[in-house]
Chain A
Amino acid sequence: MEQHDKRAAASRGGFSQRTAETITAIVFFLIGVVMIVDNYTLGAGWAKDGPQAGYFPLRIGAIICIASVVVLLQSLYGKNRSTKAFVTGERFKLVLRMFVPTIAYVLAIQLAGIYVASVLFIGAFMRLMGHYSWLKSLVVSISVTVMLFWMFEVQFLVPLPKGPLEALFGY
């Protein structure tokens, strides 16, 4: 089964748990290196009045480096290293179906304000992923957004990012 999973993952463009472990360990190692370098240039030694600003973070970076090397070695040579798929191609498509619209949504917030973007996001997601009728999708997405508007702008007076449409209504 596990063998099968691995092959399936490879053939559909997914990758194994082990690869994922290795990559994250390397990324963490690099983060540790960046921390060490940045804080070293800042000054990580002792000043007259105690440790310099970089003293603490530099050591934190060093610990990350050491621990990530151990995790890396475990993932490469460890006894119970896993051969199962980290995520299969099919499952990963599901994740992307959530993730790509989310990115589009955040972009839309930047352009059109959060309210217009939310109506579009919830409505389109329901229509395309849930296969609801246009009417149902619109009713749900608009009523949720109106409720949020009422709660944040009217009740709590917390301003959220707004675009040209809200400006028309004088908000």
Chain B
Amino acid sequence: MDAFGSLLQGFAVALTWYNVGMMMIGIVLGIIVGVLPGLGGPNGVAILLPLTYTMEPTSAIIMLSCIYWGTLFAGAITSILFNIPGETHSVATTFDGYPLAQQGRAGEALTAAFTGSFLGAFVAVLLITFLAPLVAKFALKFGPPEFFAVYLLTFCSFVGTGKDAFKTIISMMLGFGLAAIGMDTVSGDLRMTFGWSELLRGVDFLIVVIGLFGLGEILISMEEGLAFEGKSAKLNAKVVLETWKKLPKYWLTIARSSVIGCWMGITPGGATAASFMGYGIAKRFSRDGDKFGTGLLEGVIAPETAAHASGTSALLPMLALGIPGSATAAVLLGGLMIWGLQPGPLLFVEQKDFVWGLIASMYLSNIAGLIVVLTTVPLFAAILRIPFSIIAPVIIVVCAIGAYTVHGAMLDIWFMVLFGVVGYVLKKLDYPLAPLVLSLVLGDKAENAFRQTMLGSKGNLDIFWSNPLVGSITALALLMLFWPAISFAWRKLRQLV
């Protein structure tokens, strides 16, 4: 099998002392970042990205992707022990996780959550291993119109995911607008710089991410006046083994959540939607459905498995098509461009070592991650007990350093502060932030695909319907765009009849 041979080659790349070391560092950093308020997947990766400029791309992506896995694992720790979802995708984990901790069964809940996460991620990695090369191979036939159609589909499918479709659209368009600032790469014209030379190089997405998710989050935590009063985390080998004995009977829940997660990860539904859906469906089909919310292991496994499966499979479209399925994946994609790699289907042809090294590292790092979290939970729970008046200024210092190191420009720190305020307001008003990041990273690429298409067709929009492939992608995109309106009309119609 082709994929299998390449995978073995990937293991040869990933299994060096240096790369395994990077993996461990990444996972530990990821858990710390995930546990702390104000730091999370997208901005944790964004802050550390400048440190990898000089690293070999394969080692760099292994470390940064491990930070991502670490943050996914960390969500469960804060949800179960503190009833505070560190990340939005772990909100559903609090429903049954915290009651379990209150009953003194935190160890069981954590073990179940971590193992579920591990299994969900494992299914997603298998999917990436065998499906991603095929998708990439298929996408090699894509020309600019097909690529623009796929971008369109990605953006349109976001519209239905937020609470308010128009707010999602605004957030997304602001991302496009920010991406357009600076020198236009095609014509050399200056766009929206307003005669300000500092804006020539544009607004870097890393600065925006650090501000929106870092400072913005800190301001929100400050307002909520968080007091962390956690349950103790006793986790020993006996509890772990006993919980593992109980897990096989939940195989159907795990399988269902994995499938939901993978689907939501590849289409940009995201880990948050996946975890809620995993929880909801498990509740509907479970024999103990009415007892959900009182502290059932099943209620912890279902959302965690789905969240991890989704978070992991979000890397599939990123690798195969150059289109990230989540905010963190979008930041990782930005990293690829910074390291000088061209994201897209050609990656599988031109950068075999990189792609397969990364995929192989996903297997290894999930096993490593499971071991790390199971053995060191109390340590990370202790981090959350550090008083906010120490943690908050330190996080702001780290954000400022992260913003400065992107270009070594003082102005970027001010931009970071500005986007912190923007993030605070948008978050309070329920504007989703992920679409903004996604369109900021992909904005130029989507625009270039559009321009190249128009160059070929001499300005005729019919080109998006010119063959069955591009036509069906465009149709699907429009369907997704108008989905909120269609479902609204459908509901009204059913009420009338």
Contact = CB atoms under 8 A, between A and B. Distances in A.
Interface string A113-143: 0100010011001100110100000001000
Q: Specify the main secondary structure of chain A where it touches its partner.
A: helix
A52 to B, nearest CB: 7
Given A102-B396, A140-B390, A63 B189 contact: no
A94 B223 contact: yes
B396 A97 contact: no
Interface stretch (B171-179, B228-236, B344-352): B171-179
A165 interface: no
Contacts of B192: 34-35, 38-39, 57
B240 interface: no
A140 B51 CA distance: 24
B180 interface: yes
B403 to A, nearest CB: 10
B237 interface: no
Contacts of B454: 50-51
Interface residues of B, number: 56
B404 A114 contact: yes
B417 A102 contact: yes
B186 A86 contact: no
A122 to B, nearest CB: 4
B405 A126 contact: no
A31 interface: yes
Contact of B397 (A17, A56, A67, A148): A148
Contact of A42 (B50, B166, B189): B189
B215 A102 contact: yes
Contact of A35 (B169, B177, B400, B425): B177
Interface in A32-56: 32, 34-35, 38-39, 42-43, 46, 49-54, 56
A91 interface: yes
A131 to B, nearest CB: 8
A125 B405 CA distance: 24
A148 B425 CA distance: 30
B387 interface: yes
Interface in B175-202: 176-177, 180, 184, 186-187, 189-192, 194
A67 B405 contact: no
A114 B170 CA distance: 35
Given A94-B222, A103-B417, A126-B393, A57 B177 contact: yes
A43 B222 CA distance: 45
B191 A118 contact: no
A170 interface: no
A63 B176 CA distance: 11
Nearest to B399: A102
B57 to A, nearest CB: 17
B389 interface: yes
A115 B427 CA distance: 31
B204 interface: no
Interface string A136-171: 000010001100100010001011110000000000
Interface stretch (B129-137, B309-317, B335-343, B408-416): B408-416
**What is the interface residue range for chain A against chain B?**
35 or more
A56 B191 CA distance: 11
Nearest to A35: B177
A105 B396 contact: yes
A122 B396 CA distance: 9
A152 B428 contact: no
Contacts of B413: 106, 109
Contacts of A102: 215, 396, 417, 420
Contact of A129 (B50, B184, B218, B389): B389
A33 to B, nearest CB: 12
Contacts of A38: 191-192, 194
B223 A114 contact: no
B191 A71 contact: no
Contacts of A60: 173, 176-177, 180
A24 interface: yes
A87 B166 contact: no
Contacts of A51: 450-451, 454, 459
B219 interface: yes
Given A50-B459, A60-B180, A98-B222, A86 B174 contact: no
B252 interface: no
A27 to B, nearest CB: 9
B410 A20 contact: no
B166 A53 contact: no
A90 to B, nearest CB: 10
B248 interface: no
Given A21-B429, A61-B177, A110-B410, A53 B405 contact: no
B126 interface: no
Nearest to B450: A56
Nearest to B52: A156
B367 interface: no
A53 B186 contact: yes
Contact of B174 (A28, A132, A144): A28
Given A102-B420, A105-B397, 18 more contacts: A38-B191, A42-B191, A43-B189, A49-B455, A50-B454, A51-B451, A53-B184, A53-B191, A54-B189, A60-B180, A64-B173, A68-B170, A91-B223, A101-B393, A106-B413, A122-B390, A122-B393, A158-B51
Interface of A: 17, 20-21, 24, 28, 31-32, 34-35, 38-39, 42-43, 46, 49-54, 56-57, 60-61, 63-64, 67-68, 70-71, 74, 86-87, 91-92, 94-95, 97-99, 101-103, 105-106, 109-110, 114, 118, 121-122, 125-126, 129-130, 132, 140, 144-145, 148, 152, 156, 158-161
16 contacts: A28-B170, A50-B454, A64-B173, A67-B169, A68-B170, A70-B166, A94-B225, A95-B223, A98-B222, A105-B393, A109-B413, A114-B397, A122-B394, A126-B390, A144-B394, A160-B401
Closest 8 CB pairs of A and B: A130-B389, A53-B189, A125-B393, A57-B180, A98-B222, A53-B184, A50-B455, A122-B393
